């Protein structure tokens, strides 16, 4: 996980519609950048839907929400359409941003060690600096936590 007070790593990733997003295009806005393990899993669905429900409040506060996982663009498209998600889901199949943000870590699943995305959320300010970092967040609580942090 990255520390607060540093410049957030740059990225260029496609969303569920194939449009490439870069961190630089959001200069002047706060960015809630959340990394999650997998589309259509219970925790990830709860987190995404809660961000979706609160999305108008994020935009009122001048913030954008971007979800990132290693799922494909096609998977993201189905996930976003199924739940009516109003924000971009970025596909990082090559793990570039996932590794750059320090969220690709060893996990212990049922006694077996595997590598995977640790649910983590960053708040990035208008100048691209990480101002808050939350690791191992609770999926259902994280969206409200981020809104309160704003």
Q: Are 8 and 23 in contact (CB under 8 A)?
A: yes
What tokens appear for 112 in the block?
A: 């077996």
User: Per residue in 29-63, is it b (16+ CB within 10 Å) or e — as a string?
Assistant: ebbbbbbbbebeeebbbbbbbbbbebbeebeeeeb
Active-site residue, from 31, 32, 44, 48: 44
Token match 């971007």: residue? Answer: 66
Q: Is 49 a catalytic residue?
A: no
Please identify every residue annotated as catalytic.
44
């Amino acid at each position: 996980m990255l520390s607060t007070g540093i410049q957030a790593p740059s990225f260029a990733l496609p969303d569920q519609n194939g449009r490439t997003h870069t961190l630089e295009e959001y200069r002047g806005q706060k960015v809630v950048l959340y990394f999650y393990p997998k589309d259509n899993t219970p925790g990830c669905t709860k987190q995404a839907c809660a961000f979706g429900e609160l999305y108008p409040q994020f935009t009122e506060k001048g913030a954008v929400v971007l979800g990132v996982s290693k799922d494909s663009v096609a998977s993201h498209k189905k996930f976003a359409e199924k739940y009516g998600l109003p924000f971009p889901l970025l596909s990082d199949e090559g793990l570039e941003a996932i590794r750059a943000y320090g969220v690709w870590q060893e996990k212990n699943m049922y006694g077996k060690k595997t590598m995977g995305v640790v649910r983590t959320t960053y708040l990035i300010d208008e100048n691209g600096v990480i101002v808050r970092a939350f690791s191992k967040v609770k999926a259902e609580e994280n969206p409200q936590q981020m809104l309160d942090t704003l």
